[in-house]
Amino acid sequence: MNICVVGAGYVGLVTGSCLADIGHRVICIDNDEGKIRLLNAGQMPIYEPYLEDLVQQNRKRGSLSFSTDLSRGAKDSEVIFICVGTPPLENGEADLSFVEKVIREVGATADSHKLVVEKSTVPVQTGEYINRTLKIYSREEKGHFDVASNPEFLREGSAVLDFFHPDRIVIGVDNRRTEDVLRQIYLPILEGTFRCPVHSSCLPATRPLFFVTDLKSAELIKHASNSFLATKISFINAIGEICERVGADVQKVAEGMGLDPRIGKEFLKAGLGFGGFCFPKDLQAFVCIGEKYGYDFALLKEVEKINKSRIDVAMEKLKKHLWVLRGKTIAFLGLAFKPQTDDIRFAPAMELIRRLREEGCHIRAFDPQAMKKASSEIPEIFYGRDPYEVAEGAEALVLATEWPEFLDLDWDKMRRVMARPFILDGRNFLPRSRVTALGFEYVGMGR
């Protein structure tokens, strides 16, 4: 099928290259000329495991191309996936101006039937507005467009894996024809007949469910899923506060809770809290949706509050153990909001660094992927070539992102180069008994 993907950010680039890989002809559109130039030169604007290979291979095969020309992309395609950003406005609502601009242009230039699929995370009822806008700006007869919702559940750092091995593919449609087209697009995934770029041989494990519903319910599934996962994280962080006060271990509590399949063990990791460009903005947007329709989503407000307070908790721990913060040198391992990504948007590490700098601390930092982005946001701190260099002379080390390679460091060497062997493990990631046996003072979160 000829598909146009509008927006070459995390969602668009992954969706576009994966759709090309399963047999479609995809054109990816972005209005950022620099980004398109980079992609056309064979370079990547973001780091995401397996993505670069997918992009290169599919460009070479001619199944994936990049352009800034939306009208050409829209004209040449039967299906248009909207993957542009929906960043938060001042009041927390999602900014839909990019979506609207794209829809107006698609409406004005399309000269044949188009299926428009919203993939960006949007507030409920956006599909209705899209439908209306397409009709207003279209020069053709009414009924020239179909609109569907197909929320993405891609996690940064494992987005390619998530595309090929989803638990479910959710689509919101208002007619059978649209359902059939979307089923056809995802058929290789649904039937397990794709070549997996992540595993050399894929076991024919359980097939994903193709969940078909109405447009509004599909839109809500996305916001409700992200908000629920964020709620789990804040819940376990609140439990961690009780654990610390009574001398229990939040990791043990989470393990015991997670054994109940109704609860599940995922998303019960206590620590510095959630970051990234999805959970914080989606929570705020969902609270705003509630307000718009007369419902006070107090539960989610509390989830946000608990998450913000994680940075205060970390500050208090550092103050308590280092006594005076002014003039202290603090080493950071990890800057990205989670491992396997270079994304630092709303990353707890970045916020903690800002707060410590306000207190007069000197920061030395290392991250396997995120240093380029971090140094353009906070250029004033020292970025080291490796963890040993940043640990040199530090009075404390904060582990802020659980990159697996940090486990394999020579922790004895780390201890020797530090001025004071103190670790604040913001992700409860390091083996406590091993590092304390080496002579470190170890402080975790909620234990």
Residues facing 211 on adjacent strands: 170
What is the phi/psi pair of residue 319, to 5°?
-60, -45
Taking the complex as a whole, the smallest distance from the CB of residue 191 to ligand UGA amounts, in Å, to 23
Contact between 406 and ligand UGA by CB under 6 A: the answer reads no
Do 31 and 204 meet the contact criterion of CB atoms below 8 Å apart? Answer: no
Q: Which of these, 114, 120, 119, lies nearest to 140 by C-alpha position?
A: 114
Nearer to ligand UGA, 305 or 413 (CB): 305
Of residues 16, 73, 127, 276, which one binds ligand UGA by CB under 6 A?
Answer: 276
Burial class (CB in 10 A: 0-12, 13-18, 19+), 17: buried
Nearer to ligand UGA, 155 or 362 (CB): 155
Nearer to ligand UGA, 24 or 223 (CB): 223
The amino acid at 301: K
Contact range with ligand UGA by CB under 6 A, out of 67-75, 127-135, 146-154, 240-248: 146-154
Do 347 and 319 meet the contact criterion of CB atoms below 8 Å apart? Answer: no
Contact between 152 and ligand UGA by CB under 6 A: the answer reads yes
DSSP string, 230-297: HHHHHHHHHHHHHHHHHT--HHHHHHHHHTSTTT-STT---SS---SSSHHHHHHHHHHHHHHTT---
Q: Which of these, 41, 34, 35, 37, lies nearest to 12 by C-alpha position?
A: 35
Taking the complex as a whole, the smallest distance from the CB of residue 82 to ligand UGA amounts, in Å, to 14
Nearer to ligand UGA, 137 or 153 (CB): 153
Distance CA 234, CA 302 (A): 9
Of residues 273, 334, 426, 444, which one binds ligand UGA by CB under 6 A?
Answer: 273
Of residues 50, 186, 235, 274, which one binds ligand UGA by CB under 6 A?
Answer: 274
Q: Which of these, 175, 126, 181, 172, lies nearest to 149 by C-alpha position?
A: 172
> Is the sign of the CA dihedral 155, 161, 165, 170 positive or negative?
positive
Nearer to ligand UGA, 172 or 271 (CB): 271
Taking the complex as a whole, the smallest distance from the CB of residue 163 to ligand UGA amounts, in Å, to 11
Of residues 135, 155, 265, 357, which one binds ligand UGA by CB under 6 A?
Answer: 155
- Cα–Cα distance list, 57 to 18, 53, 160, 276 (Å): 11, 6, 14, 29
Binders of ligand UGA in range 198-237 (CB under 6 A): 226, 229, 233
278 belongs to the catalytic site? yes
What is the phi/psi pair of residue 77, to 5°?
-120, 150
Contact between 425 and ligand UGA by CB under 6 A: the answer reads no
Contact range with ligand UGA by CB under 6 A, out of 27-35, 269-277, 368-376, 414-422: 269-277
> What is the edge-to-edge ordering of all strands in the sheet holding 114-118?
64-67, 25-29, 2-6, 79-82, 114-118, 145-149, 168-172, 209-213
Contact between 338 and ligand UGA by CB under 6 A: the answer reads yes
Of residues 153, 210, 382, 388, which one binds ligand UGA by CB under 6 A?
Answer: 153
Of residues 12, 275, 334, 446, which one binds ligand UGA by CB under 6 A?
Answer: 275
Binders of ligand UGA in range 303-322 (CB under 6 A): none
Nearer to ligand UGA, 77 or 234 (CB): 234
> What is the edge-to-edge ordering of all strands in the sheet holding 396-399?
382-383, 362-366, 329-333, 396-399, 422-425, 441-443
Contact range with ligand UGA by CB under 6 A, out of 150-158, 164-172, 198-206, 207-215: 150-158
Nearer to ligand UGA, 258 or 290 (CB): 258
Taking the complex as a whole, the smallest distance from the CB of residue 233 to ligand UGA amounts, in Å, to 4
> Taking each helix axis from N to C terminus, what angle separates 10-21 and 51-61, rounded to the nearest 10 degrees?
50
Contact between 121 and ligand UGA by CB under 6 A: the answer reads yes
243, 278, 288, 361: the catalytic one is 278
Of residues 35, 119, 165, 269, which one binds ligand UGA by CB under 6 A?
Answer: 269
Contact range with ligand UGA by CB under 6 A, out of 70-78, 268-276, 287-295, 388-396: 268-276
Active-site residue set? 278
Q: Which chain residues interact with ligand UGA by CB under 6 A?
A: 121, 152-156, 226, 229, 233, 267-269, 271, 273-276, 278-279, 337-338
